[in-house]
Amino acid sequence: MRSVRQILDGKDTPLVTVGPDDAVLEALKRMAEAGVGAVLVMDAGRLVGILTERDYARKVVLQGRASATTPVRAIMTSPVRTVGPEQRAGECMEMMSEYRFRHLPVVEDDVVLGVVSIGDLLKLVIEEQRHEIAALQSYIAS
């Protein structure tokens, strides 16, 4: 199975970030504009958290907070689980399944390289299964 670096090389999704003191509403706007379900929370160039749609639903909507006045730091997930670029996709899927999250930042030497989503990983698995099926069909036919 491919490495996370190989997955990131095939993606063209920009890195979407907010600051910990930004309003949750601003984070939601950035997510919507980029078509993503999570933003990284960066402070002075350092990853300090992640804010997901799930965080918003559970920590703002259900708790009756106002997204225009609630700072990101109040609802972000921190610390953030991360992986290095050489991590294998299968290991990432296991981690996401075990800890029940859908977005995984990729960090090397304290620099965020990108984010791998569960959708990225599922797309990879489907692609690899198609190749395997085609190879098996070719083998059987020959």
pLDDT digits (tens, 9 = 90+) for 16-64: 999 999 999 999 999 999 999 999 999 999 999 999 999 999 999 889 9
> Token pair 């350092």 is at which residue?
46
* Contact predicate 34/140, CB 8 Å: no
Phi/psi of residue 114, each to 5°? 165, -170
Position 1 pLDDT exceeds 80: no
Contact between 77 and 26 (Cβ < 8 Å): no
Q: What is the pLDDT of residue 77?
A: 96
Domain span including residue 78? 4-141
Which CATH number do you get for residue 86?
3.10.580.10
Is this prediction's pTM over 0.75? yes
Give the chain's domain count. 1
